Amino acid sequence: SRKFVLAAAQLGPIAADEPRSSAVARMIALMREAKARGARVVVFPELALTTFFPRWYTEDPAQIDRWFETEMPSAETQPLFDAAAELGIGFHLGYAELTPEGRHFNTAILVDETGRIAGKYRKIHLPGHREHEPWRPFQHLEKRYFEKGDLGFPVFDALGGKVGMCICNDRRWPETWRVLGLGGAELVVLGYNTPLHYPPAPEHDHLQYFHNELSVQAGAYQNGLWAVAVAKAGHEEGCDLIGGTIIVAPTGEIIARAATVGDEVITATVDLDRCAEIRSNVFNFALHREPEDYRAITAP
């Protein structure tokens, strides 16, 4: 069937000294709750194994590399894969990836119900800055610590349909959604770490939840696909991260929303066949797109 229960597992704050084993144990508890609610897949946030480390500046590679995973699964993350296989539930996980060649990526994977990695994505839109900016109350150094993703925006066969991934800042870019939509995605899964305070434009702080919903709802509707956006939330190492985890239908309607800024599971029944409500009508790409007039979008 193309209809299943989808779970989004929001995480509350992860302290800088919280071991991976603790984050994994929290996620397994949420996975069990998701399964008890009938979920076929559970979606975890961006960089779900550690605190959001790009908020600190360092020039010491060893200080940075300790936040990264050199293998997936590793001894510390294997219990997540074992629990998924035992429960027969898929999951999506964001983590910092350090490759054998020494490359650093902000990565997400999709794991199927047997515990096998079915898809991988590396974040393309890296926000923030590269150098230390002492005027900020906290840094946002993704441009320093990560390389731009090199896998494009792939779409995978999973969950009886086509699943795409993006990560946090990617959700604010219509190009992300359209490329995934053109790739046939029927469900887009993503995690985020979004500070409530945006130091370059603090006058927009009160709009953080609105801009999250605006971006995800528009992406879903304009491409006729399901979307789930999952927060790492709450007061983390002196920085407030928004919650607002949501599941959005292809009509753009929010059908489930988190109520807290802590560990919390939300669920919704997803029917992938509902994508046709939009994709066969107002956003029938074959009938109504006019790519000849969109060239400016891909010009550097």
Query: 239 catalytic, yes or no?
Result: no
Q: Which is nearer to ligand CDT, 107 or 194 (CB)?
A: 194
Distances (CA, A) of 184 to 125, 161, 281: 21, 9, 15
Where residue 50 falls (left for φ over 0; alpha for ψ -120 to 50; beta otherwise) is beta
Q: Which of 46, 69, 186, 264 is catalytic?
A: 46
Per CB under 6 A, does 128 bind ligand CDT?
A: yes
Per CB under 6 A, does 168 bind ligand CDT?
A: yes
DSSP state of 203: G
Q: Which is nearer to ligand CDT, 87 or 126 (CB)?
A: 126
Query: 46 catalytic, yes or no?
Result: yes
Q: Which of 166, 168, 239, 275 is catalytic?
A: 168
Per CB under 6 A, does 140 bind ligand CDT?
A: yes
| Collapsed DSSP state (helix, strand, coil) of residue 208 | helix
Binding mask 187-206 for ligand CDT (x = CB under 6 A): -----xxx------------
Q: Which of 35, 97, 123, 142 is catalytic?
A: 123
Query: 275 catalytic, yes or no?
Result: no
Taking the CA atoms of 78, 104, 213 and 205 in sequence, report the sign of the dihedral they define: positive
Residues 14-33 that bind ligand CDT (CB under 6 A): none
Q: Which strands make up the sheet holding 104-111, listed edge to edge?
A: 117-122, 104-111, 90-98, 39-43, 3-10, 264-271
Region binding ligand CDT by CB under 6 A among candidate stretches 93-101, 114-122, 165-173, 285-293: 165-173
Per CB under 6 A, does 144 bind ligand CDT?
A: no
Among 78, 86, 120, 127, binds ligand CDT (CB under 6 A): 127
At 104, list the tokens: 């650093």
At 221, list the tokens: 């509707």
Per CB under 6 A, does 48 bind ligand CDT?
A: no
Closest C-alpha to 187, from 270, 125, 252: 270
Cα separation, 123 vs 129, in Å, equals 15
Cα separation, 48 vs 92, in Å, equals 10
Binding footprint of ligand CDT, residue count (CB under 6 A) = 10
Residues with active-site annotation: 46, 123, 168
Q: Which residues bind ligand CDT (CB under 6 A)?
A: 46, 127-128, 140, 168-169, 172, 192-194
